[in-house]
Structure 1
Amino acid sequence: MKSYQKLATDIPQPTESYAEEESIDGKPPCLRKLSTWWLGVGLLMMVAVLLSGVTMWMFRHMSGSQHEQTPLEKCSAVPEPLRFDCYPERNMVVTKELCESRGCCFIERDQPLRSRSGVPWCFYPPDFPSYTLESLNQTELGMVGLLRRKVKAYYPRDIERLQLSVEFETDTRLHIKITDSTSPRFEVPLEVPQAVKRAENPIYSLEFSKEPFGLLLRRRASGAVLLNTTVAPLIFADQFLQISTILPSKFLYGLGEHRSSFLHSLDWNTLTLWARDVPPMESYNLYGAHPFYLLMEEGGSAHGVFLLNSNAMEVALQPAPALTWRAIGGVLDFYIFLGPDPNMVIQQYQQVIGFPAMPPFWGLGFHLCRWGYGTSNETWQIVKAMRNYQIPQDAQWNDIDYMEGYRDFTFDPEKFDTLPQLVEDLHKHGQYYVMILDPGISSTNPPGSYWPYDEGLRRGIFINTTQGQTLIGQVWPGLTAFPDFSNPDTYQWWLENLNQFHTRIPFDGLWIDMNEPSDFKDGSVDGCSPGELDNPPYVPAVLGGSLSAKTVCASAKQSTSVHYNLHNLYGLMEAKATASALIQIRGKRPLVISRSTFPSQGRYSGHWLGDNMSKWKDMYWSVPGVLSFNLFGIPLVGADICGFSGTTSEELCTRWMQLGAFYPFARNHNTQKEKAQDPVAFSSVARTAMKEVLLTRYALLPFLYTLFHRAHLQGHTVARALFFEFPQDVITYSIDKQFLWGQSLLVTPVLEPGMDSVIGYFPRGVWYDYYTGSSVNSSGESLKMAAPLDHINLHLREGAILPTQKPGSTSWVSSGNPLRLIAALSQNASAWGDLFWDDGESLDTFERGDYSYLVFNVTQNVFTSTVLHANVEATYITVDVLSVYGVREKPSRVTVNGKENPFSYLDNQVLTVSDLNLNLSQGFSIRWL
């Protein structure tokens, strides 16, 4: 086999994609003696070598030198950024002997280099043996191939023969799966669309390397290499799967759930995916698992990669730039999305995992909660105080205090004896009630005294030990059993429990917590088995160092598989059961907020970012968190406003309320035994600032609701990173202290203490102050803006029309108020916007046609409202005001449907036409001359 060094300068260039070549006698042209190991990465390699100073190596091979390299020379010639870790095991010292026993290179760096953490001492040599592509045949949708292992791998039960399947599903989506060719393996039971025909004009090409096996994916338009898996060996053992690729740039996003900047660091950074109950902290695996990344390429194109695998895994990033997937089970099942812009990548991803559900309108209002209200009357007093100050609030929540002994489906008959009356009062005021549920079911009650456990035991719906007994852990109620939501029978049991409780407490939404699932006893009260499910040959970098750390045993038995395979799916499965139960109980759109999540979760629930702290840095971390979950197809997301743990300050909470008013899901929540942080707990100055920003949110609800409609229908993001709209502006790639609602509304919060100004970046174009209409024409620059404690900076992008509404104290009150339409003219004096409107709670209103949809346009000094679809709801709404930002000259007159109408015009080029009283269900035009 030729070395890396030789192949880097000795590569024949294919004339066309192997993916499109026909096979001959079952052997396609890609099966050639000469490997294309470094195809597409040769230039990258040479640049890296040059940068590392090894110029003699490059010169020798470019000049055709036949010098036979020694093993040390081969190893030394691999530049540090391209060294792929051959010994990723942690908590052990990797010696030369251990490393070389795997056939790998060992270079112990000298002391000055040792401070550069991350560069592996043990790494794969250029000629490390891997799989060979033995055959490749065309299929109706793509091709299927057979891979054979060349040399036995160093992990137990390595798989000798693998099957490769490639499906060209659409012109922008490619599906690649590698699995055992002889024995079935666990695959994620996710409902994904099946291709029916092969893509006709794919914007990508796929090439293969025979020996060692590798894939090379190119973008046709630019020739950019998006994937190149030949840079390190493919390893496929029963409990260790590894594949690496070079990346075309360093601009990588996604791979959740983690606390980090939105743009990931590639400086030897490892991201672990294993659902874990832990307060958010940097560098550790958190509540959910999302093996999906989006990458911005040079030139502004984007692509995404999704590994459909639910097992524990880690993703190792290195500065080549390169990425390595390591999973400890399942299969390598990749979907690649070619965009080419980032918005399209996310839409294509959601075409596979499913578009998010349409939330109820009230779910977009302001929610209030705390752990520690103590009694239902104390909870009620907060609700009344909010009403007294006329601070908008849609939903009141309760944490586990409401339960009797922390047991699900109960409420404390003494401390929360007036809870039914509280919920009735909320409903009378157009408000809603949400309660928490934990999956752990109390198992220590006298027989016959707790139906959820007794009946669950009778029906056999709990997770079991390896011996077939109910696995007992410990969470809030004490000793607990855990429902197995992979069992269809559990759905009915869950529904019956919720339905019985709903007859006593008619809740409107559900908050499912602790569903990683969390277990205060690692594994169970009896520990876990000594087998390889609980103690696999390789453990990713999980917090606690064990798969059972603060959760149930990986060996635990569930209906469809072992917990080893299903752990990361637990929150998704519970959310699916909970949403289904709510629909059956209430007959309306469900509101479910879940802590643990997995791809496709947006179809059933939203998410909050967990048990954060009342610190300024936590407020900042919430922005990349919200942006990331919009990538993951869960747009209904937010953080606990003002922080969950610790005591907030008035300044921090005011600033956080201003930011939180622009979370797609807005809830203020804090822990017990801390100072209250609801708006009424603060001074009149802070309280007023909080009220004003909530009124701004409520005014924008029609716009926000329309964004969620687009997310539901087409997979758009709601909270959006700036580079989604400005992919040619590289400055936007690292911005995660500002964000957009949709295409149009730029939010620039204050994220530091003691500030009365804020610096925000404005991409090229005209931006209008949301409140005043004053404009700035940016060439792509950072601007300093006044930001007193009672103000958050909001700006409208040129060319946008936003539907807003006179705000009320609840979304129900607001929804009946007149609209104000705001048009922000582009430099050519045009604008566009739309509005989706329905009753806000019925199921499938779009699918049933029971909605209104309007499109707004401005062109040649004429604003038009066109009704494309109408239902009865729109007849109750009027348009009262039109504000047009950027009207350069004062009009002499304004006509509404041909009739003159009074207007006002300000020096900052804002035209306002009031007292319109136009019915939303009928089209209209407004002209200024």
Structure 2
Amino acid sequence: MKSYQKLATDLPQPPDAYAEEESIARKPPYHRQLSTWWLCVGLLMVAVLLSGVTLWMLKQVPGDQLGQTPPEKCSAVPEPFRFDCYPEWSVVVTKELCESRGCCFIERVQPRGNRSTKPWCFYPPDFPSYTLESLNQTELGMVGLLRRKVKAYYPRDIERLQLSVEFETDTRLHIKITDSTSPRYEVPLEVPRATKRAENPIYSLEFSKEPFGLLLRRRASGAVLLNTTVAPLIFADQFLQISTVLPSIFLYGLGEHRSHFLHSLDWSTLTLWARDVPPMQFYNLYGVHPFYLLMEEGGAAHGVFLLNSNAMEVVLQPAPALTWRTIGGVLDFYIFLGPDPNMVIQQYHQVIGFPAMPPLWGLGFHLCRWGYGTSNETWQTVKAMRNYQIPQDAQWNDIDYMEGYRDFTYEPEKFDTLPQLVEDLHKHGQHYVMITDPAISSSNPPGSYWPYDEGLRRGIFINTTEGQTLIGQVWPGLTAFPDFSNPDTSQWWLENLNRFHALVPFDGLWIDMNEPSNFKDGSVHGCPWGEFDNPPYVPAVLGGSLSSKTTCASAKQRVSVHYNLHNLYGLMEAKATASALIQIRGKRPFVISRSTFPSQGRYSGHWLGDNRSKWSDMYWSIPGVLNFNLFGIPLVGADICGFSGTTTEELCTRWTQLGAFYPFARNHNYLNDKAQDPAAFSSVVRTAMKEVLLTHRAHLQGHTVARPLFFEFPQDEITYSIDKQFLWGRSLLVTPVLEPGVDSVTGYFPRGVWYDYYTGTSVNSSGESLKMAAPLDHINLHVREGAILPTQKPGSTSWVSSRNPLRLIAALSQNASAWGDLFWDDGESLETFEKGAYSYLVFNVTQNVFTSTVLHANVEATYITVDTLTVYGVRDEPSRVTVNGKENPFSYLDNQVLTVSHLNLKLSQGFSIRWQ
């Protein structure tokens, strides 16, 4: 495999290694990406190329008349570079079927599967594609015209395509391929538009004229990041495909799937189509994120985003190579050049929108279950948590609270005290979150259910092809589905939430079942036979059909058909919900959504779905959390202790220790399973859970997000595959226990000094794995050298904690320096940064002096004091410590930890602490 990894960089260089972007290379064709195995064939190809003749070009006739490719050409294509010519997963490919497309057929011994086997049918090196006929300069880049060489084997293939290239910034490139004559559906996502061409791009772009292809290089290294000449471009009305080789095997992203954080390129197919299904490997899950991050040799990184909302597949193979395959829309790519992984993600988020600041209480510990039979039962759980002094910021209710599972209602007998419960939560500084499903009950007597009656009157539901309300079946029974692409729906949604808020003053919303989920396939009447419900090609979706457990793809919405909008449903509902909460409460909205799409972080967080109470599911949550931080949805977590199945005390303790470091931390479990809230366990387990939740509370003020180790150590290739540890921000390393029956854990420490968070004891690592004690009441946390962490004395809620004094932890680097900062606001107001309603401080240690510098201050911070400074890594015992020039008591331990207490310094005023 390694010999092929470097082939992308072995392309012949143009006379000027950094040729101008508008130059057209003379055809670096598919076969130049293959192998030196067949040197003679390669020399023959080069000779033909130089004569300007396309090698072995067949007549320009439809694919089913292309004829048979010579066997020697087929066998000469190395297996890792065989791009699938017959991807229909439900078809057993025969030699006749394959050769009718003009492709190579080599049958393998094992049965051909649809997900992880090498293709039997693959493109020959000279398969005809598009030709680049013209290329002209524009203000932002270039526009070109592509012409199809032969008719494709999918219906309604498009003869003439338009290529547009915009050099938007020095690190961002925008490439779009679409029909040159007729407009096509494009994702209605608000993205920034460039106003001028990049002046000094760190990339160069070259073109292959025939067959058409793109070669994107990084100027600094010359590495080829994209090379689409390795397989043909196909562009039919309902089948679009483009492939590229990759410069390395270190590929991440492409969600939502249950997988290791580092993808396997061993012939795997990732399907993207929002689906209601408990998380399992290999299948399409709740959300769609067609974005990948790739680490290159040497530690540089780049990312690629395909802005397309249709059903799609991404095929990975060991060349290494990747194929995008979608069934609608356009090929609209944004490429981000970093050059480091943090910068790639920042550049991606600049396009899709930066995530919103959540309310402070949203970062605390949340408790829920499906199975609270009454509001009083819910209330008793809250009181038990208080009795044991276990931190809790929010109490939730699942669908139990509803009357007949209908939105915007509560059961009048079993949940009669729900308003009083919410009032009590508010008195204790706690918050209430309830579930809301999009499907609206449609089987009520006329005039008895305002949400449906009014929605029907306003025409805000998704319709059938005949223009009638599409009826499916969800929890309430027969249901209609709001069309959130219709602006009128947002107003209707707001009015419904406002009416219910007057009865039960909820603080946040949990929007579930919004793929949208449907217990029927399509509708209660099925789906019509047509191009949307039965397209020429169906990606390998769970259930085998686009309508499996959702609405008909042909259903009509305001903006387009559901075929185009399905993957956007959760995003559109989240946007309407966040807007409604802002108007109702006038504070930062708290929304947790199951289905997601790029830009969703602007409106909601996400939980990883209906997991199980298994050790493996606890592990899978870490790659899930890391991926959604890539996707711009940092407010993410898994159901702590598992949703379905009965947990154990050991598993729940370990999961609570890990879950305390999910940005969104919620314990939630299933209807008929044993209660698993912390108060339900033995005193030993309760104490262990309480301690770790208090530790979590102490770190909330850092506003950090989970990130993989290689984001901070891109030069350390060992970190590229680590997904059993993660960082909070750049400075706190979390190493959880993920196996039963153990009292130790092994973690990797990148090169440098790391300090035990609890004791300050240091580890000077050369880049090594270390075994650490991990008793049941302990999770290993380590602070990276050079960091300063502002922590806070914990309390029962985030609001209580926010008034407590700060403890600052400075972890000195090997040159005895450290740095950190703190953003502080009231934790709930809107646009505090824009309005200047915040404080921002910078902390620094150099030459035995700790300084706090206030760069911006508001009245909120005047109430906060700094009580303690702890400095890790002070090599020599100080003889004297002064605070703002005045001598102050201190303590010093043999493990080189200096502590200065009882400071009572105002956070809003700068100060300095010196030790000698």
TM-score computed with the length of structure 1 as normaliser: 0.94
The answer as to 2:899 corresponding to 1:927 is: no
Q: What are the superposed Cα offsets for residues 482-541 of structure 1, whole Å, 9 maximum, x if unpaired? A: 000000000100000000000000000000000000000000000001001000000001
What runs of 5+ residues in structure 1 fail to find an aligned partner?
1-6, 22-28, 708-717
Cα distance in 1 between the residues matched to 2:529 and 2:522: 12
Q: Is the 8 A contact 1:436 1:510 kept in 2?
A: yes
Counterpart in the other structure of 2:4: none
Counterpart for residue 279 of structure 1 = 278
What is the aligned partner in structure 1 of residue 786 from structure 2?
799
Q: 1:124: how far off?
A: 0.3
Structure 1 residue 109 displacement after superposition:
2.9
Which of 892, 899, 907 is matched with 1:912 structurally?
899
Cα distance in 2, alignment partners of residues 139 and 381 from structure 1: 67
1:819 equivalent among 794, 806, 812: 806
Question: Structure 1 counterpart of 2:868, which letter?
Answer: V
What does residue 3 of structure 2 align with? none
**Mapping of residues 840-851 of structure 1, within 5 Å:** 840-851=827-838
- Structure 1 residues 470 and 112, CA gap change in structure 2 (3 angstroms): closer
Percent of aligned pairs with the same amino acid: 86
1:435-454 matches, within 5 Å, as 435-454=434-453
* Residue aligning to 2:410: 411
Q: Paired residue for 1:37, among 23, 29, 52?
A: 29
Match of 2:883 among 896, 907, 912: 896
1:108 Cα deviation after fit: 1.5
The equivalent residue for 2:169 is 170
Give the counterpart letter for 1:764 in structure 2.
R
Deviation at 1:770, TM superposition (A): 0.2
The residue type equivalent to 2:16 in the other structure is: T
**1:93 CA drift (Å):** 1.1
Paired residue for 2:711?
724
Contact 1:249 1:297 in 2 (8 A): yes
Q: Distance in 2 between matches of 1:479 and 1:664?
A: 36
Secondary structure of the structure 2 residue equivalent to 1:241? strand
Map Cα deviations across residues 821-877 of structure 1 (whole Å, 9 max, x no partner). Answer: 000000000000011101110000001100000000000000000000000111000
Superposed, 1:263-662 pairs within 5 Å as 263-662=262-661
Runs (4+) of structure 1 exceeding 4 A deviation are: 7-12, 16-19, 54-66, 110-117
Maintained 8 Å contact 1:255/1:293: yes
Q: CA deviation at 1:62?
A: 9.6
Asked whether the equivalents of residues 147 and 162 of structure 1 are also in contact (C-alpha less than 8 Å), the reply is yes
SS at match of 2:285: coil
CA shift in 2, pair 1:927/1:308, >3 Å = same
Contact 1:18-1:208 within 8 A present in 2 as well: no
With over 3 angstroms needed to count, the CA separation of the structure-2 counterparts of 1:115 and 1:413, relative to structure 1, is closer
**CA shift in 2, pair 1:913/1:452, >3 Å:** same
Change (3 A) 1:116 1:822: closer
The whole-number CA distance in structure 2 between the counterparts of 1:65 and 1:500 is: 72
Amino acid at match of 2:781: L
- How far is 1:71 from its partner? 1.5
| CA distance in 1: counterparts of 2:431 and 2:902, whole angstroms | 33
Amino acid at match of 2:887: E
Q: Give the residue type in structure 1 aligned to 2:139.
A: E
Letter in 2 for 1:518: S
Q: Are the structure 2 counterparts of residues 478 and 112 from structure 1 closer, same or farther at C-alpha, using a change threshold of 3 Å?
A: closer
Alignment partners' CA distance in 1, 2:131 and 2:415:
67
Q: Deviations over 1:741-760 (max 9, x none)?
A: 01000000000000100000
Q: State the Cα distance separating 1:645 from its structure 2 match.
A: 0.6
Amino acid paired to 1:780: G
Matched, 1:13 2:14: yes
The whole-number CA distance in structure 2 between the counterparts of 1:75 and 1:100 is 12
Would you say the 8 A contact 2:643–2:670 is kept in 1? Answer: yes
Give secondary structure in 1 for the equivalent of 2:697.
helix
Paired residue type of 2:28: T
Amino acid at match of 1:205: S
User: Could you tell me how far apart the structure 1 residues matched to 2:668 and 2:264 are?
Assistant: 31
Say whether residues 1:762 and 2:754 are aligned partners.
no
1:4 aligned residue: none
Whole-Å Cα distance in 2 between the matches of residues 853 and 60 of structure 1?
66
Scaled by the length of structure 2, what TM-score is found?
0.96
The secondary structure found in structure 2 opposite 1:370 is coil
Structure 2 spans left out of the alignment, 5+ residues: 1-7, 57-68
Q: Following TM superposition, by how much is the alpha carbon of 1:13 offset from its aligned partner in structure 2, in angstroms?
A: 2.5
C-alpha displacement at 1:145, in angstroms? 0.3
Q: Given that residues 112 and 119 in structure 2 are in contact (C-alpha distance below 8 angstroms), is that contact kept between their aligned partners in structure 1?
A: no
Equivalent position SS for 1:875: helix
Counterpart residue type for residue 908 of structure 1: N
Contact 2:788 2:819 in 1 (8 A): yes
* CA distance 1:721–1:211, change in 2 (3 Å): same
What secondary structure does 2:668 align onto? Answer: strand
Relative distance call for 1:8 and 1:747 in structure 2 (3 A) is closer
Tell me the amino acid that sits aligned with residue 37 of structure 1: P
Structure 1 match to 2:66: none
Give the CA deviation at 1:20. 3.7
SS at match of 2:822: strand
After superposition, what is the alpha-carbon deviation per residue over 1:360-386, rounded to whole angstroms, capped at 9, x for unaligned? 000011000000011000000000000
Look up the equivalent residue of 1:775 and give its one-letter code. S
Name which of 740, 743, 751 aligns with 2:727. Answer: 740
Q: Using a 3 Å threshold, how does the CA distance of structure 1 residues 135 and 744 change in structure 2: closer, same or farther?
A: same
Q: Is the 8 A contact 1:588 1:843 kept in 2?
A: yes
The correspondence for 2:864, drawn from 874, 877, 901, is 877
* Greater displacement, 12-21 / 233-242: 12-21
| CA-CA distance at 1:17 after TM superposition | 5.1
Verify the 8 A CA contact 1:700 1:804 in the aligned structure 2: yes
1:211 paired residue number = 210
Contact 1:367 1:667 in 2 (8 A): yes
Aligned to 1:670, what secondary structure does the other structure show? coil
Tell me if structure 1 keeps the 8 A contact 2:18–2:219: no
Of stretches 331-340 and 87-96 in structure 1, the one that deviates more from structure 2 is 87-96
CA distance in 1, matches of 2:736, 2:257: 22
Instruction: Report the AA paired with residue 429 of structure 2.
Output: G
Contact residue 115 and residue 267 of structure 2 kept, 8 A: no
Give 1:56 shift. Answer: 7.0
In structure 2, do the counterparts of structure 1 residues 8 and 921 end up closer, same or farther at CA, with 3 Å as the change threshold?
closer
1: CA distance, partners of 2:414 / 2:112:
62
Aligned to 2:60: none
State how far apart, in whole Å, the 2-side matches of 1:674 and 1:363 are.
26
CA distance in 1, matches of 2:803, 2:627: 34
> In structure 1, what is the Cα distance between the partners aligned to 2:877 and 2:451?
70
Matched-pair contact (CA < 8 Å) for 1:8–1:45: no
Q: Partners of 1:616 and 1:304 in 2: how far apart?
A: 32
User: Is the contact between residue 17 and residue 207 of structure 1 (CA under 8 Å) also seen in structure 2?
Assistant: no
Residues 699 and 806 in structure 1, CA contact (< 8 A), matched pair in contact too: yes
* CA-CA distance at 1:36 after TM superposition: 2.2
Q: 1:118: how far off?
A: 1.4
Contact kept in structure 1, 2:303 and 2:335, CA below 8 Å = yes
Cα distance in 2 for partners of 1:373, 1:688 equals 24
Q: What is the CA-CA distance between 1:113 and the residue it aligns to?
A: 11
Q: How does 1:183-198 map to 2 (within 5 A)?
A: 183-198=182-197
Cα 1:580–1:64 change in 2 (3 A) is closer
Distance in 2 of aligned mates of 1:62 and 1:496: 69
AA paired with 2:719?
T
